[in-house]
Amino acid sequence: MLSLDSQQKLSKLFQKIAKLELGIEKQRQRLASIPEFELYSAFCRVNRNCDKLITANEIYAFLM
């Protein structure tokens, strides 16, 4: 069983993750509301090796 201190820290971590997830979802909704934005085209530009996955390295390469 976790100590009270550990439980509080874990709770704060989950709260922070939930808050960040809400922010990500809001940004996703804003992006989806732009008629000119084509999700599949954006995915293909980031997924440079065409393996139907996006890795951290591909995101890094795309941003550089």
Give the model's pLDDT for residue 6: 96
Tell me, yes or no, whether 45 and 61 share the same domain.
Answer: yes
Q: Is-above-0.85 flag for pTM?
A: no
pLDDT digits (tens, 9 = 90+) for 30-42: 999 999 999 899 9
Q: Are residues 41 and 59 in the same domain?
A: yes
Helix (H), strand (E) at residue 28:
helix 4-32
Task: Please calculate the CA angle 5-14-39 and round it to the nearest 5 degrees.
Answer: 165
Looking at the fold, whether 40 and 59 belong to one and the same domain comes out as yes
* For range 48-64, the mean pLDDT: 92
CA distance 28 to 26: 5
Q: Using CA atoms, how far apart are residues 12 and 57, in angstroms rounded to an integer?
A: 30
Q: In terms of residue numbers, what domain contains 25? A: 1-33
Q: Are residues 11 and 24 in the same domain?
A: yes
* Cα–Cα distance measured from residue 29 to residue 9, given in angstroms and rounded to the nearest whole number: 30
